[in-house]
Chains A and B, each alone.
Chain A
Amino acid sequence: MQTVKMVVTGPFAAGKTEFIRTISEIDVVSTERKITSDAERIKDATTVAMDFGRITVDEELVLYLFGTPGQKRFDFMWEILSEGMLGFIVIVDSSRPETFREARGILDTFRGYAETPYVIAANKQDHEDAWSPDDLRIALKISKEIKVLPCVANDKDLVKGVLLELLYSILETMDLEGAG
């Protein structure tokens, strides 16, 4: 059986766990614990290590989704997780502009690990304060070749859409490499 993996990353409380939980066929294995830091009190519990979800495509192929820890102090995990990934998704809480700078930093860090295709998921689009994907693109300084996609992490169709767009991006990158 072949296993492939995608990494779901993004700032603290951006919706990574929910995203994986929505699409995974197994209960997402996540390590959550009570928050003690004032800065992180926006969420009652946070992911200590990472989330892990599984999607069985058929008898021969399984896709694993790995969510990265939200907090900076776990960033030692990122490089380990990024090894061998097919692509990655940066989830951004569109309603919290104070996290955009961090999202950009995470994106740059992951791009440094591997030249792997990625997409940006503009999460919490159902929130009244959410920035639109177009505004988010500008705020995060995302080039036009990279997809910034609307997302609501507990909406299965939108989550599927994000994964599909990442897969299309992977094919497009392969085509470009093949042409080059």
Chain B
Amino acid sequence: MALKGNLHDFSITQLLNLIHLARKTGTLAIDGKRSAARASFREGKLVFAQTDTLDSRLVGMLVKVGKITPDQGKKIPTNKTDRDLANLLVQAGLLTKTELDQMVRNNVKDVVDRMFALTDGLFRFEPNVLPEDRLWAEPPINLDGIIMEGTRRLKESERLQEEIPNLEVTLRFTDRPDAKLRNVNLSVDEWRVVSYINPKNTIRQIAQANSMSDLQIRKIVYAMLQAGLVEVVQPAALPAPAAVPGGRAAPPKAFASNEEKRSVVNKLISFFNR
């Protein structure tokens, strides 16, 4: 009988612990509110994982690590399984077995990292069901470290929730960032968030626009707050939300009229002419 339930009642960490201790073989499927994920295990060790927010096909992994471009990826025939394709690439000397194994392991770990962000949704463990045509982590990944990391994340998540309890507030760039901005390096995800920062967009809208979980957005916003890059606009000062149809956050713009736009442009011209 399949093991099933809701993550509300039994967390990812607890599930992994169970699979690890019982040395289970099979596939865990999770259907969260915002995303779905699957992870497969052989005798309690992780061999495969995929989520709808990260391409776990071989072509997707090759693009991600920069081995091929997205355009080249599109030209690869889709009628071969990942295993067949991997064999061809290794035989042709385009990829070493070590590189392949490392890439797959990293991808599986990335997916499981994302799974920890799922706190709600239905799960189901199908015993002895394994994705035979997909690439497995070689050697299988021991769950000890992953569970420990997950527990640490859970604590981090709780702490972040205390730091940023309300995702309905908005952000703005701080007026005095220069002292703290030196040597700040931002990831692509952080830049995605930066491009939506505007007192008209709530943190939740920014997360939705970038398909980020609550944990991911809290982490990024917290780092930016700490770096002095942004500050929270208190709800009392909020203008009307600027969401556009579809729940997407509005981009930083807004001219109520052409006159207003003209005035802004003229102001900028005067400024640069000084």
Contact = CB atoms under 8 A, between A and B. Distances in A.
A171 B264 contact: no
B272 A163 contact: yes
Interface stretch (A2-10, A104-112, A121-129): A2-10
Interface residues of A, number: 46
B76 interface: no
Nearest to A55: B271
Contacts of B182: 27
Contact of A77 (B191, B265, B269): B191
A77 B272 contact: no
B258 interface: yes
Nearest to B253: A84
A63 B199 CA distance: 15
Interface in B237-274: 250-254, 258, 261-262, 264-269, 271-273
Interface of B: 66, 69-70, 172-173, 177-178, 181-182, 184-188, 190-192, 194-196, 198, 229, 250-254, 258, 261-262, 264-269, 271-273
Interface of A: 1-5, 25-27, 29, 31-32, 36-37, 48-50, 52, 54-55, 57-58, 61-64, 66, 72-74, 77, 80-81, 83-86, 160, 163-164, 167-168, 170-171, 174, 177-178
25 contacts: A3-B252, A25-B178, A27-B182, A29-B229, A37-B66, A49-B186, A49-B187, A49-B188, A57-B267, A57-B271, A61-B268, A62-B173, A74-B188, A77-B192, A77-B195, A80-B195, A83-B252, A84-B254, A86-B265, A167-B269, A167-B272, A171-B262, A171-B265, A174-B262, A177-B258
Given A31-B186, A171-B269, 8 more contacts: A32-B185, A58-B267, A61-B267, A64-B173, A84-B252, A84-B253, A167-B265, A174-B262
